[in-house]
Amino acid sequence: MTQAPVNVTVTGAAGQIGYALLFRIASGQLLGPDTPVKLRLLEIPQAVKAAEGTALELEDGAFPLLAGIDIFDDAKQAFAGANVALLVGARPRTKGMERADLLEANGGIFKPQGEAINAGAADDIRVLVVGNPANTNALIAQSHAPDVPAERFTAMTRLDHNRAVAQLAKKLNAPVGEIKKLTIWGNHSASQYPDIFHAEVAGKNAAEAVNDEKWLAEEFIPRVAKRGAEIIEARGASSAASAANAAIDHIYNWVNGTPEGDWTSMAVPSDGSYGVPEGLISSFPVVCKDGKYEIVQGLEINEFSRGRIDASVNELAEEREAVKKLGLI
Ligand SMILES: NC(=O)C1=CN([C@@H]2O[C@H](COP(=O)(O)OP(=O)(O)OC[C@H]3O[C@@H](n4cnc5c(N)ncnc54)[C@H](O)[C@@H]3O)[C@@H](O)[C@H]2O)C=CC1
Ligand SMILES: O=C([O-])CC(=O)C(=O)O
């Protein structure tokens, strides 16, 4: 071990994503093989016992990089000293719940968590919101953490990115490792836009290699955007291991950089790039270097893409209006 342990706070630790995520963090896949981690798990009181059970299993993994596990039911304690925060726990939509009800219920979670991050997280805190509606939950948390630089709050569209890479690779009969520069734009919802116009397969333009706009519009885009529902239908539960995998990828790239000649997708606060209203936490193509991300600039956006990006961004703007009206931001 070459450095002091990094504090990683995980909310919703006893949930299904938590179960798939914690072991991979402990094994060093979140931050790299030289970085010891201390886990700080946050759960609601009723689920603390289950989190304690997971902690016993983590102990049984005898992970050399795992320097400690603490379990909390209080956000202020859980985020104290956090360097990385994975906000997974959220209120799922239940029968008869309107979107405003869902936003309000999640406001009750992400507002105090934002305040707790503001109060006690480490100066280098990086936040990834996984819990849905992820982009707007991130916006709520961010707006209650005025002392933390706004760009440290991000939301997860990496699962969508990975799903799109896999579907494109399948269509082109290419290894996933040869697909580069794919982009998810907008919201982590069915309105998201997976864009292959700048993507490359083995160095060639992927849209040209596909050369099938009908497949793109009628199969690829809806398949990726509705993949979450497809998984629920098949598995009887929402994506968990693939979501945990994407959270690992998101933080790993943010901290350790994206590979040369490629980029990834992260939902980050807009600086106005590509006409996305400033402040919305929207998915963009990003390059990570030296522990920071930057939105890839200068991409030409064709008409096909423009309408789809705008539709997803408009949905984000509506969600922002809705949480404003509810007094959550
Ligand atoms: N952004 C993305 O790509 C994806 C997001 N998700 C979302 O991730 C979230 C978690 O999914 P699962 O692990 O499958 O759900 P789950 O229901 O299995 O686990 C959620 C856990 O969060 C806990 N929790 C609830 N309120 C909390 C609070 N205030 N503080 C701490 N913990 C709290 C619950 O007790 C539960 O253990 C859901 O909102 C889901 O929709 C899931 C897949 C992909
Ligand atoms: O659809 C869901 O409920 C879970 C999710 O966000 C996804 O799998 O993309």
Contact 131, 12 (CB under 8 A): yes
Mean pLDDT of 254-262: 98
pLDDT at 223: 98
Rounded distance, CA 245 to CA 176, Å? 15
- Kindly state whether residues 32 and 104 are assigned to the same domain: yes
Say if 329 falls within a structural domain. no
What's residue 98's pLDDT? Answer: 81
Closest ligand 1 atom to the C-alpha of 188? Answer: 1
Predicted confidence (pLDDT) per residue in 203-215, tens digit: 999 999 999 999 9
Atom of ligand 2 nearest to the CA of 132: 6
Among 132, 163, 265, say which to mutate for ligand 2: greatest number of ligand atoms within 8 Å of CB: 132
Residue numbers annotated as active site: 188
Both 195 and 142 in one domain: the answer is: no
Q: How far is ligand 2, taken at its centre, from the CA of residue 4, in Å?
A: 35
Domains contained in the chain, number? 2
130: containing domain: 6-155
156 C-beta closer than 6 A to ligand 1? yes
* pLDDT over threshold 90, residue 264: yes
Per-residue pLDDT tens digits for 52-108: 999 999 999 999 999 999 999 999 999 999 999 999 999 887 777 887 888 999 999
Enumerate residues 6+ apart whose C-beta is below 8 A from 41.
Answer: 9, 10, 13, 14, 18, 22, 51, 54, 55, 69, 70, 71, 72, 78
With a 6 Å cutoff on the Cβ, whether 228 touches ligand 2 is yes
CATH classification at residue 211: 3.90.110.10
Residues 134 and 164 grouped into a single domain: no
Q: Is 22 in the pocket of ligand 1 (CB under 6 A)?
A: no
Residue 1 lies in a domain: no
What mean pLDDT value characterizes the chain?
A: 97
Q: Is 109 annotated for ligand binding?
A: no
Give the ligand at the shortest distance from the Cα of 132. Answer: 1
User: Are residue 142 and residue 284 in the same domain, yes or no?
Assistant: no
Residue 155 · residue 188 · CB < 8 Å? yes
- Using a 6 Å cutoff on CB, does residue 88 contact ligand 1? yes
pLDDT of residue 95: 79
Evaluate if pTM is beyond 0.90. Answer: yes
Domain presence at residue 201: yes
pLDDT over threshold 60, residue 117:
yes
Residue 2 — very low, low, confident or very high, per pLDDT cuts 50/70/90?
low
CATH code (residue 40): 3.40.50.720
Residue 131 marked ligand-binding: yes
In a domain, 116, yes or no: yes
To test the pocket of ligand 1, the residue of 16, 17, 46, 73 to mutate (highest count of ligand atoms within 8 Å of its CB) is 17
* Preceding omega of 259 cis (within 30 degrees of 0): no
Give the pLDDT confidence of 120-140 residue by residue, as tens digits: 999 999 999 999 999 999 999
Which of 106, 125, 155 corresponds to the end of one domain?
155
Nearest-atom index, ligand 2, CA of 228: 8
Locate the DSSP E strands across the chain. Answer: 6-11, 37-42, 66-72, 84-87, 126-129, 153-155, 179-180, 183-185, 193-195, 200-201, 204-205, 264-269, 281-289, 292-295
> Which ligand lies nearest the alpha carbon of 113?
1
Q: Is the CB of 238 under 6 A from ligand 2?
A: yes
Instruction: Please answer whether residues 78 and 42 qualify as being in contact, where contact means their C-beta atoms are separated by less than 8 angstroms.
Output: yes
Residues 15 and 144 in one domain: yes
- Whether ligand 1 lies within 6 angstroms of the CB of 42 is answered as yes
Going by alpha carbons, the residue nearest to atom 8 of ligand 2 is 228
Atom 9 (ligand 2): residue with closest C-alpha? 228
Cβ 89 under 6 angstroms from ligand 1 = yes
Helix (H/G/I), strand (E/B), else coil: 174: coil
From 88, 93, 187, 268, the mutation candidate for ligand 1 (largest count of ligand atoms within 8 A of CB) is 88
249 and 285 inside one domain: yes
